[in-house]
Chain A
């Protein structure tokens, strides 16, 4: 049975009067791959920085491995068991790839030398080249290597594939799936919804600091439906104000309903209104994401 490895309770972060993260409550299961979705400025990076002790929460609390994220001493213990890749992947320009690997290795007793060797070859990283001379893609690959080899139990990745070409994105996604299979927990933010859809077990969607969706991907695929309806006559707005309706779009005689569940009841309602056509379709994560944001 899996247990919660990362949790937050009403976590909030304000920058002056601006609320970047509002009352965020998350729970991440051990061994899962969790996608953390949101638009730019939604509060993803602020949340991640609070998890790693880079920022102090304005209110609320958070725990990783049952250690408090806002306690400096406990935060060090969290980071001993956690690997992180920052959104911009900036590393020390004055070090070579080999120097920064040696530097990072010195802080992690469970460093995975075998994986390091494999990834250096797989990514084709030039060990003697200075970080400042690397391409954006190679810098991202180096940052990923430095995170993956830490022997961590939790991987927190902020836009991990940004700057990579499709071939390398695929390699990284495969690695993440492999890590999860070994028991590592992966928590990653991304703008690339297809990546989340491809590998995640669980998805959080946040917008303007607030949690909009907290569901497993299987659950979403099973429960979310697009119901397209055609009627003999015009339909009034609010006709489908039923439980489970995320969004209702009505245009004359046609209606389109996005439902997060309760599909049968909605279909029954449409039948009761003498719908001439009823199509119940599966929904992609992209559609759920976009509709969730529109619905705000």
Chain B
């Protein structure tokens, strides 16, 4: 029943996120002919302006187009936002809502409470991550541009594993800050700032400064346009991202176990 409680607590966030992820995936697949047409029109109107390299490639290479918009930029940003929002919860939030007394009167250990909440959150963000992996190949049939299912699954897996760090950020923020809405504002603020700083590097492919490279989880989540071989995966970045996520989960658990409610 704890799983059921965790699901009830997050179901609205999850369902809204699922709708947005579906809409975003569908927009870039079904909107592909329209977007390419717009680019062509723009090129005809401005024949002397040089196209950006990624636009040229995305025009000719449909999987690259999908990777760029879905797994590299917009859907990734949407997924990160959803992951961080789903991460909010736990006993600190219950403390702010006044229900912590009831929860802690049940014969359950705090470790189990944190564990179940975290597992339900991870399942939800994983489901959100795999929606595009399934939806994109199906919808691509309607525009006569095949998209390999295995590519979608590989990119989704990388996005989910690399992005666990954002979910753990949501968990730790809502553990540290005993308030209903402050962790949400801070979390959304951090994500917005992070992607604002990254925007020029993500769009134009400009080389990132070292400090940004060190924290750029979005690059790890996106990987390379084609994840066709073992070496194409960013293993070091993925490992570091997972390690940070694990440390944050453990920290949240430790704080929850020690805290007075």
Contacts and interface: CB of A to CB of B under 8 A. Distances in A.
A274 B159 CA distance: 94
B8 interface: yes
B8 A94 contact: yes
Contact of A103 (B1, B97, B100, B258): B1
Contacts of B101: 49, 54, 84, 86-88, 90
A208 interface: no
A42 interface: no
A107 B261 contact: no
Interface string B1-40: 1001100110000000000000000000000000000000
Interface in B58-80: none
B228 interface: no
Contacts of B1: 102-103, 106-107
A95 B5 CA distance: 9
Nearest to A146: B102
Contacts of A24: none
B108 A107 contact: yes
Taking each of A82, A83, A86, A104, which has the highest tally of chain B beta carbons within 10 Å of its own beta carbon? A86
A266 to B, nearest CB: 45
B5 A54 contact: no
Contacts of A104: 106
A49 B261 CA distance: 8
B106 A107 contact: yes
Interface in A53-88: 53-56, 72-73, 76-77, 79-80, 82-84, 86-88
A80 B105 CA distance: 9
Contact of A72 (B4, B97, B110): B110
B261 A72 contact: no
A52 interface: yes
Taking each of B8, B104, B105, B258, which has the highest tally of chain A beta carbons within 10 Å of its own beta carbon? B105
B102 A86 contact: yes
A55 B261 CA distance: 6
B107 A77 contact: yes
A53 B104 contact: yes
Using C-beta atoms within 8 Å of the partner chain, give the interface range for chain B.
20 to 34
Taking each of B97, B101, B257, which has the highest tally of chain A beta carbons within 10 Å of its own beta carbon? B101
A91 interface: yes
Contact of B260 (A54, A90, A93, A103): A54
Contact of A88 (B98, B106, B107, B109): B98
Interface in B107-139: 107-110
B99 interface: yes
A91 B109 contact: no
Contact of B99 (A49, A55, A56, A92): A92
A225 to B, nearest CB: 40
A54 B102 contact: no
B185 to A, nearest CB: 21
A99 B101 CA distance: 18
Contacts of A72: 109-110, 257
30 contacts: A49-B101, A49-B260, A49-B261, A52-B105, A56-B260, A72-B109, A73-B109, A76-B107, A77-B107, A79-B105, A84-B101, A86-B105, A90-B97, A90-B101, A91-B99, A92-B8, A92-B9, A92-B99, A92-B102, A95-B5, A95-B8, A99-B8, A102-B1, A103-B1, A103-B4, A104-B106, A106-B1, A107-B1, A108-B107, A143-B102
Interface of B: 1, 4-5, 8-9, 97-102, 104-110, 257-258, 260-261
Interface of A: 49, 52-56, 72-73, 76-77, 79-80, 82-84, 86-88, 90-95, 99, 102-104, 106-108, 143, 146
